[in-house]
Amino acid sequence: MVANNETIHWGYVYEGLEPRMVINSGDTVEIEMITHHAGDDPDKMINGDPGIESIYKWTEEGMGVPTRGASGKGDGVHILTGPIAVCGAEPGDVLQVDILSLEPRVNPATGKTYGSNAAAWWGYQFRAGFLDGDKREVVTIYEVIEEDGEYYIVPDYQFRFSNAAAGYDGPISACAITEGSIPDATTNIEWSNVNNTYSGRKYLAPKVSSCGAKCTTQEC
């Protein structure tokens, strides 16, 4: 099952969702998974990939995924592909799922696969202090390399996201208005991300926002 804005839901689990795929017990299926950190470097992980572009679309005309999180206001983070219904399964049944293999999802525009790793204040990598005792929140963008049927990752670069003034603040994300409403949601949802940050900065877009426009920034 390919991943796009029609086959994923963002930031919540809900048994009432319509299945995106129906399978029988014992079937083998291939499912694409998408990271919610793709915005850490749009050029490497979003642009040129139609599926991810549809998920991350956020323009004046609408959002590719209008409802994010349990409340619809962006309070959930992970992108989930599915749901998948298993014929004959009943509430309370235990399902056995065997993961046979994991393969990198290649961006068709670049022929490469990139990922993002966040060493945030709540995680082990932050508490470990990078072995030098300096606890700092950084995002690492890495490339997945395949060689002779084996995979490994190579770090591409890092940037700090809790203190942009202390280092590179990462790539510039697409502009987005800072507050408003979601007209294509099932309920009347108002939202505001004025106090949220991207890579340690507030991105202040003009009233009429455009994905291709250049955002103005200010320190948090």
Burial bucket for residue 209 (CB in 10 Å: 0-12, 13-18, 19+): middle
In tens, the pLDDT along 45-86 reads: 999 999 999 999 987 777 888 777 877 766 788 999 999 999
**Residue 14: band (very low, low, confident or very high) from pLDDT cuts 50, 70, 90:** confident
Cβ neighbours for 126, distance < 8 A, ≥ 6 positions apart: 119, 120, 135, 136, 137
Global confidence as pTM: 0.71
> How far is it, in rounded angstroms, from Cα 205 to Cα 196?
13
The C-alpha atoms of residue 212 and residue 176 are separated, in whole angstroms, by 10
- DSSP 8-state symbol, 73: B
Percent of the chain residues past pLDDT 70, beyond the cut: 67
Give the list of residues 6+ apart from residue 172 with CB closer than 8 angstroms, or none: 214, 215
